[in-house]
DNA sequence: CGAATAGTTGACCGATGTCAATGAAGGTGG
DNA sequence: CCACCTTCATTGACATCGGTCAACTATTCG
């Protein structure tokens, strides 16, 4: 699956990866080398209800974190790309499912009981909170095209703003992240193509042609 | 405005208020008495872009925290009731507006630069994150009636689950919190009344008659 | 090469939004 | 204390965006 995607071929991120996303350089750096685990596409990283014993940093690949309703409706609360850290919870249990979207490698950081980890964790938690709050605005008050625009801008910014955006996730994933159906996502992509705002090399690879138009919609 | 509401007449919460919401009792307790400020209904507590120099605990009253889009669309990201703490940000600037909904008194906690405040702040930030993530599911994947049900359950649980729920906020506020219009909120309230799931003493005071039915919808 | 999976597109439907009228409640000034 | 006025809430009629159902196309994998 997705053998062409740059996500699988991305350079591995080692110690310095914490510097991405402007996270504090000191975070966790004093701890010895942490174990790295590989997950094939679709593999479960953790499940709702499990004991939350570690947090994770994406070495390469991509992760989706989501909740399910009884009737199968799914809300993806976040995607995590190379360098990003996820998996902290308010209590010691997970309240989400996390899965590898593509072949993914994760570095685990155990939550040592005694250590004063809060100094390192707080900025990460606050950043995560900020992202969730940004997403609230999108889900609560944006139209379909604005949601997709905001999503593409976000993905582009997290990939270096080169104008070329890799989408490791399916249209269904995007829909479940944006509170839309797969059909609506697809139609919005088509509308953005028509208007020459984006170009699709293939369905998982987007080129942004008109940043200003996109930003105007995505706010 | 709302002179009848129990929110204005609620007993003041002093030092022990941190124990509400099962927040860590140690949080901030060693610090000397903190200044308390009064805000009349509608008063601004802080604005988007301001320097974030303190966090706040509601003594009595209620607060709405929100963002605005250029065209006036508003997303309320959270309401805060007596005992609850709000106002932390990922960086040192506010990215939201905060306003008193009714007559409100707040205790300010300055964010002392040197002090190791992260130990106290982390659990609060994580709780806030959890609430934002819960809300993401509601906005992304719930219908109008499910959103209102989830909202009422949440408000009831935060007010002691007595079955009597005070709503200090307007229908417009509720709509802007749930990603709905005021008309839809009003119609859903009417539908819940018809089905005898709730009863309205007045428009700001709800009695929950069928918890199970409400929980089933609100998940 | 063929089957399975993912994505796109079209026709139609329905939930929620918009616009408008009416009703209820609270605050203010006479 | 009452009457008016303003604000908030409710309700109805209609419009619209996005969802549903379905057919078709493209891509990937075996």
Q: What number of H helices and E strands is found in chain A?
A: 6, 11
DSSP-based three-state secondary structure for A207: strand
**A114 in reach of chain B (CB within 8 A):** no
**C-beta separation of B84 from B52 below 8 A:** no
Mutation site, B89, B141, B143, B181, interface A, largest A CB count within 10 A: B141
> How many Å is the Cα radius of gyration of chain A?
17
Positions of strand D less than 7 angstroms from a protein CB: 8-13, 17-22, 27-29
Alpha carbons A131 and A156: distance in angstroms, whole number: 15
Q: Tell me the two tokens of residue A115.
A: 């250590």
Put simply, the answer to whether B77 touches A133 (Cβ < 8 Å) is yes
Residues B113-146 as b or e (16 or more Cβ within 10 Å = b): eeeebbbbbbbbbbbbbbbbbbbbbbbbbbebbb
Among A70, A141, A179, beta carbon nearest to B140 = A179
The pLDDT of residue B26: 41
Residue A32's pLDDT is what? 58
Give just the sign of the alpha carbon dihedral B154, B155, B159, B163. Answer: negative
Which nucleotide has the shortest C1'-to-CA distance from B183?
D10
Containing B200, the helix (H) or strand (E) segment is strand B198-202
Mean residue pLDDT of chain A comes to: 87
3-class DSSP state for residue B74?
strand
pLDDT at position A157, please?
Answer: 96
Q: Cβ of B66 under 8 Å from any chain A Cβ?
A: no
- Is there a contact between B59 and B82 (Cβ–Cβ < 8 Å)? yes
Please give the angle made by the CA atoms of B100, B102 and B107, to the nearest 5 degrees.
50
Average pLDDT over residues A162-181: 97
**A89 contacts B92 by C-beta, under 8 angstroms:** no
Angle formed at CA A8 by CA A7 and CA A13, multiple of 5 degrees: 75
Region of poorest pLDDT, from A159-168, A203-212, B17-26, B108-117: B17-26
Chain A residues with beta carbon closer than 8 angstroms to that of B126: 88-90, 125
């Amino acid at each position: 699956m997705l053998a062409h995607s740059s996500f699988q071929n991305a350079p591995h991120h080692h110690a310095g990866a914490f510097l991405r996303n402007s996270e504090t350089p000191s975070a966790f750096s004093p701890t010895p080398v942490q174990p790295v685990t590989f997950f094939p596409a679709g593999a479960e990283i953790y499940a709702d209800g499990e004991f939350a014993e570690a947090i994770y940093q994406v070495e390469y690949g991509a992760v989706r974190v989501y909740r399910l309703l009884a009737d199968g409706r799914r809300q993806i609360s976040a995607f995590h790309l190379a360098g990003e850290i996820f998996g902290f919870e308010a209590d010691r249990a997970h309240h989400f499912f996390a899965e590898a979207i593509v072949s993914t490698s994760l570095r685990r950081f155990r939550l040592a009981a005694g250590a004063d980890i809060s100094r390192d964790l707080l900025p990460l938690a606050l950043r995560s909170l900020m992202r969730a709050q940004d997403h609230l605005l999108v889900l609560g008050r944006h139209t379909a095209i604005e949601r997709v625009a905001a999503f593409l801008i976000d993905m582009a910014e997290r990939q270096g703003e080169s104008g070329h955006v890799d989408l490791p996730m399916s249209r269904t994933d995007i829909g479940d992240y944006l509170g839309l159906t797969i059909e609506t996502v697809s139609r919005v992509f088509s509308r953005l193509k028509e208007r020459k705002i984006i170009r699709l090399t293939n369905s998982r690879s987007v080129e942004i042609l008109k940043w200003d138009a996109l930003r105007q919609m995505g706010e």
